Amino acid sequence: MCLAVPGQIIELLDDGQARVDFTGVRRTVSVVFTPEAEPGDWVLIHVGFALATIDEDEAKATLDLLGEAIAAELAV
> Are 54 and 37 a contacting pair, CB within 8 Å?
no
- The pLDDT tens digits for 21-76 are 998 999 999 999 999 999 999 999 999 999 999 999 999 999 899 888 888 888 87
Q: pTM of the predicted model, to two decimals?
A: 0.86
Q: What is the pLDDT of residue 51?
A: 96
Query: Residue 11: is its pLDDT beyond 70?
Result: yes
Neighbouring-strand partners of residue 30: 17, 49
User: Which domain does 42 fall in, by range?
Assistant: 5-75
Total structural domains within the chain: 1
Q: What is the CATH number of the domain that holds 50?
A: 2.30.30.140
